[in-house]
């Protein structure tokens, strides 16, 4: 495991933290016909000891022109490798802390273009193990049907991820480790680079990815950020990005670097490699045309040789 990568270099990647917020906008912002519901922050990270309690706040925003009645509640969630969310009842996930979270007020009226602060209280029971626990605070409103229409009632739902760390008696109780489960370059329209990160620790990690590209002769040709995401314990997440500077022809080696800050505040880097040959449509056409020309030239040469042999067979000397 390489721990010596230049931290200045990773300052570039740190800027891509905004990408993780953008990913959460699907969860943190809902838009209806005349209402727009949002929350801030999109992620709420807290550290609470066993048998302890902490409070914070989430701001709910109604950016629309219609007043809404909002219901607040807590659920479990999971994220698959492709970064899709699934919500479930409190206690469904092994890492759930949903039953420890209280939202106040649980119901409230929110005027148009206004905000409301909701108090979030986490009370950790005394018998739990150190590590990471997670849930999501959801805020939901039912929209009025348009023109008195009947049928499915439109609902807006937005949320804030709650990322809880329960510290242990010693540092050994908290494990911050990750590994590269998969890396690859994938040709398509467009071509993209991808890494799959596996969190092997017992707390969530904010991880960032970067790819360095090397051409056919080994020269460094490009650097691309894969962004930053949050990985939960014992889960896999994918970081990927489109590569705009792919070559028309040749061999490319991609060196993937995963970076995260461990429990001691040290930067940890893990690397992996992938190799891919690139052939553009233009080069394929040129290759096929060249092959056809060589076949045609070979056929003409063979034809001339056949005629010459035939003439020699008639008894003429040369």
The pLDDT assigned to 276 comes to: 85
Q: pLDDT for 158-199, tens place per residue?
A: 999 999 999 987 778 899 999 999 999 887 767 889 999 999
Residue 292: phi, psi to the nearest 5?
-65, -40
The pLDDT assigned to 150 comes to: 56
- Answer whether residue 204 shows pLDDT above 80: yes
Beta strands in the chain (DSSP E): 29-31, 36-40, 43-47, 53-62, 68-79, 85-88, 101-104, 107-110, 114-123, 131-142, 155-166, 178-186, 192-199, 205-214, 220-231, 236-242, 249-261, 267-279
Mean pLDDT value of segment 12-35: 47
The pLDDT assigned to 29 comes to: 55
Confidence of residue 290 (pLDDT cuts 50, 70, 90): confident
Q: Where in the chain is the domain with CATH 2.60.40.10?
A: 32-169, 178-279
Q: Which CATH number fits domain 32-169: 1.10.3210.10, 3.40.50.970, 3.10.290.10, 2.60.40.10?
A: 2.60.40.10
The pLDDT assigned to 18 comes to: 36
The pLDDT assigned to 28 comes to: 56
The pLDDT assigned to 100 comes to: 98
Residue 311 or residue 244, greater confidence: 244
DSSP run (H or E) holding 287: helix 281-313
Q: What is the pTM of this model?
A: 0.72
DSSP run (H or E) holding 18: helix 17-28
- Answer whether residue 17 shows pLDDT above 70: no
- Answer whether residue 87 shows pLDDT above 70: yes
CATH superfamily of 178-279: Immunoglobulins (2.60.40.10)
User: Which residue is listed with tokens 């650097």?
Assistant: 223
Which residues have CB under 8 Å from 247's CB, separation 6+?
Answer: 215, 221, 278
Burial class (CB within 10 angstroms; exposed 0-12, middle 13-18, buried 19+) of 92: middle
The pLDDT assigned to 315 comes to: 52
Closest CA to 45 of 196, 178, 203, 201: 203
Mean pLDDT value of segment 225-253: 90
Residue 25 or residue 110, greater confidence: 110
Which residues have CB under 8 Å from 203's CB, separation 6+?
Answer: 131, 132, 165, 174, 175, 176, 233, 263
Confidence of residue 83 (pLDDT cuts 50, 70, 90): confident
- Answer whether residue 103 shows pLDDT above 90: yes
The pLDDT assigned to 174 comes to: 92
| Biggest distance spanned by C-alpha atoms of the chain | 111
Eight-state DSSP code of residue 100: G
The pLDDT assigned to 222 comes to: 93
Mean pLDDT value of segment 92-113: 96
Closest CA to 25 of 136, 168, 158: 158
Eight-state DSSP code of residue 34: S
- Answer whether residue 93 shows pLDDT above 50: yes
Q: Which two tokens stand for residue 156?
A: 């807006």
């Amino acid at each position: 495991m390489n721990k010596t990568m230049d931290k200045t270099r990773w300052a570039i990647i740190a800027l891509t933290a905004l990408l993780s917020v953008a990913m959460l906008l699907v969860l943190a912002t809902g838009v209806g016909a005349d209402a727009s519901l949002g929350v801030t922050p999109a992620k709420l990270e807290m550290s609470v000891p066993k048998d302890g309690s902490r409070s914070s706040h989430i701001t709910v925003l109604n950016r629309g022109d219609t007043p809404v009645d909002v219901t607040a509640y807590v659920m479990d969630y999971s994220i698959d490798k492709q970064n899709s969310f699934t919500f479930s009842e409190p206690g469904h996930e092994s890492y759930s802390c949903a039953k420890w979270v209280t939202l106040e007020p649980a119901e409230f009226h929110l005027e148009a273009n206004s905000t409301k602060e909701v108090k979030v209280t986490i009370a950790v029971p005394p018998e739990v193990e150190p590590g990471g626990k997670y849930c999501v605070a959801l805020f939901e409103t039912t929209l009025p049907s348009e023109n008195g229409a009947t049928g499915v009632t439109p609902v807006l739902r937005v949320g804030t991820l709650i990322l809880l760390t329960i510290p242990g008696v010693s540092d050994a109780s908290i494990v911050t480790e990750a590994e590269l489960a998969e890396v690859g370059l994938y040709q398509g329209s467009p071509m993209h680079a991808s890494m799959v990160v596996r969190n092997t620790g017992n707390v969530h990690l904010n991880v960032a990815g970067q790819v360095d590209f090397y051409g056919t002769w080994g020269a460094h040709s490009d650097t691309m950020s894969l962004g930053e995401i949050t990985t939960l314990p014992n889960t896999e997440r994918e970081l990927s990005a489109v590569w705009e500077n792919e070559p028309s022809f040749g061999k490319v080696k991609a060196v993937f670097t995963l970076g995260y800050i461990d429990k001691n505040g040290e930067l940890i880097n893990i690397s992996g490699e992938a190799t891919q040959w690139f052939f553009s449509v233009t080069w394929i056409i040129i290759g096929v045309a060249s092959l056809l020309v060589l076949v045609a030239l070979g056929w003409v040469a063979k034809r001339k040789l056949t005629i010459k042999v035939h003439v020699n067979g008639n008894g003429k000397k040369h």
